[in-house]
Every structure is written in structure tokens, then in C-alpha cells.
Amino acid sequence: MNPSQQEKSFQIETTANESQVQARQHLVELFESSPLSPQERLFNIGMYTRSSVLVKFLVLNDIYQRIKNIPGQLMEFGTWWGQNLVLLENLRAIHEPFNKQRIIVGFDTFEGYTPLSSKDKASEVWHEQSYSTGKGYVGYLKALLAAHEASNALGHLTGQHRLIEGDVCVTAPQYFTDHPETIVAMAYFDMALYEPTKKALEAIRPHLVSGSVLLFDELTWQESPGEAIAFKEVFSRNEVTVEKCALYPSKAIVTIK
Ligand SMILES: C[S@@+](CC[C@H](N)C(=O)[O-])C[C@H]1O[C@@H](n2cnc3c(N)ncnc32)[C@H](O)[C@@H]1O
């Protein structure tokens, strides 16, 4: 199944009503019929970026500023197409153009969701294989990240980032066995489910330092109880601070004390 077929088989998470959905569809049509060339469209991409997408850029910029003075890698558990990995590479280039030690690591099956556990809630948003990017996508994402690295400062040093393909329940513990020296400055959790979130949290825990930040996408979302259950099982209240993300209510920012 290719990604566009796959896209139709699940519901992208949204709170939009009918008229907002129509306005968004109109935006898609305006994008497709744009008088701008592809090059001009890329350079002026803000013309087509909705506020609900722009806010994600702003949140990641806030997180980047918080961890700028914390050493270590930046990780995303549940990368999907990899937009956040690209944003992180470009935020790295803006905030620390000469720091090529900021390895950015993306974990995903790239074949969509794994089965739910009894601690998760069934949902139209995630069922097995929803959010699959299709086989072979990893190669494209690697090339995309390398292209961004190459166009940034010290662009001759590419290939600094890693894509880890497979079920996080297996790949997260394996990653830290393979790279025991790892320090994690920031990790973004966006898988919503109990099992992979718990396994990833347990795996990164020994590699966090004071000031490391964990960003949770769905900590208080009623559709995804598994994420908060996993978090509360792995961390105790006296070792972290927890904040609601100011710009994005469902996201929560956890800082290691
Ligand atoms: C909501 S999407 C992530 C969206 C992405 N963070 C973004 O903001 O664009 C959730 C991702 O988690 C991945 N995922 C779910 N369960 C997983 C597991 N057990 N191991 C690895 N990836 C998993 C899915 O394949 C999917 O790409």
C-alpha cells in the first residue's frame, strides 16, 4: 500500500469543524494551483503554513532554546514523515551553527502503529499500520536531512543524523546498548501508546542529565491514556518538573531536575 492509499485508511487527529475543514481544503487547492514555481513556493512556504502547523515550529523553537546549553543528542520517538527532524536540524543551524555534535535521532517503524495494549484506548487515529510512510521512505528522509545539513553552515559535514527503523520496544533498548556513551538533551515522545512509550522512557532514563527536556505530545489527551501511564510509571514527581506547553495545550514539557 502506498502512503496516499494508507492516508485514507485512518483519521488524522483534528478538532476542526466542517467549515474549517473546507477552508483547509481550499488552501490545498490554492497550493496546487499556485502561480509560484516550486522553488518560489519553497522559499515562501509560510504563505501556505496554517497557524496549527506554525505553532508546532514555535513550540520546537522554545524547546530548542531550553536545551541549547545542555549537551547531547536530540531524539524523536515516532517521527512519521520526519518534519520535526528537519525542523530540529534547521533550529540547530540557527541556534548553534557550528555545533556538529548535535546528533539528531528519529525512531519509527516507518510502517505505522504497532498493536495497542490493554492500557491504550482504541481510536480512529491509531490502529495497526496507521501513519505508515510506506516501504523505502527512510532512504528519502535520509536524503532530505542530508540536503538540509548540506545547505547549512559547515555543510560539508553531513550524515550526522540517524534514523532507527523498527518497533521502539526493540530498537530503543538496542540503540543505547550500541551507543552506551549517549547523553540525551531532548526527547520528543509522539507515539501515544503505552508499550513503546514505556520502553523508550526506560531506555533513555540513564542517559538524561540535569536540564534534559522531554516533550510529550499527548500527556493529557483522553484518547491516549497510555502515554501518561508510562510516564508516571517511569518517573517520580521529585525528579522532574512538568509544565503545560503554553502555546499547545495537549503538549507537556518535562525537565529533569
Ligand atoms: C502521530 S505519528 C508522529 C507524528 C510526528 N511526531 C509529527 O509530529 O509529525 C506517530 C508515529 O509513531 C510511530 N509508532 C507507533 N508505534 C510505534 C512503535 N512501537 N515503534 C516505532 N514507531 C511507532 C508511527 O509509525 C507513527 O509514525
Q: Where are the domains of the chain?
A: 51-256
| CA 98 to centroid of ligand 1, rounded, Å | 30
Grid cell locating 211: 536540564
CA angle 189, 81, 172 (to 5 degrees): 40
Tell the residue nearest (CA) to atom 6 of ligand 1: 79
CATH T-level topology, domain 51-256:
Rossmann fold (3.40.50)
Which residue ranges of the chain lie beneath pLDDT 50?
Answer: 1-8
Mutation pick for ligand 1 pocket among 10, 55, 85, 109 (CB with most ligand atoms within 8 Å): 109
Among 135, 144, 171, 191, which residue has the most ligand 1 atoms within 8 Å of its CB, making it the best to mutate?
191
3-state SS, the chain, equals CCHHHHHHCCCCCCCCCHHHHHHHHHHHHHHHCCCCCHHHHHHCHHHHCCHHHHHHHHHHHHHHHHHCCCCCEEEEECCCCCHHHHHHHHHHHHHCCCCCCCCEEEEECCCCCCCCCCCCCCCCCCCCCCCCCCCCHHHHHHHHHHHHHHHCCCCCCCCCCEEEECCHHHHHHHHHHHCCCCCEEEEEECCCCHHHHHHHHHHHHHHEEEEEEEEECCCCCCCCHHHHHHHHHHCCHHHEEEEECCCCCCCEEEEEC
One-letter identity of residue 133: T
Contact assessment for residue 1 and residue 112, using Cβ atoms and an 8 Å cutoff: no
- Ligand 1 mutation target, pool 52, 105, 113, most atoms within 8 A of CB: 113
- Of 124, 75, 71, 132, nearest in space to 104 by CA: 75
Instruction: Tell me if 197 CB under 6 Å of ligand 1.
Output: no
In this prediction, residue 11 carries a pLDDT of 62
Q: What is the pTM of this model?
A: 0.94
* pLDDT at residue 16 in the model: 79
Report how far ligand 1's centroid is from the alpha carbon of 112 (Å). Answer: 6
User: What are the residues whose beta carbons fall under 8 Å from the beta carbon of 36, sequence distance 6 or more?
Assistant: 44, 47
Instruction: Give the distance (Å) from ligand 1 centre to CA of residue 40.
Output: 31
CA of 76 to the centre of ligand 1 (A): 9
CB 172 within 8 A of CB 234: no
Closest CA to 118 of 250, 7, 229: 229
Residue 227 near ligand 1, beta carbon < 6 Å? no
Answer whether 137 contacts ligand 1 (Cβ < 6 A).
no
**Residue type present at position 223:** E
Report the pLDDT value the prediction gives residue 58, as an integer from 0 to 100: 98
Q: What one-letter code names the amino acid at 47?
A: M
Ligand 1 in reach of 60 Cβ (< 6 A): no
Cell reading at 88? 530540529
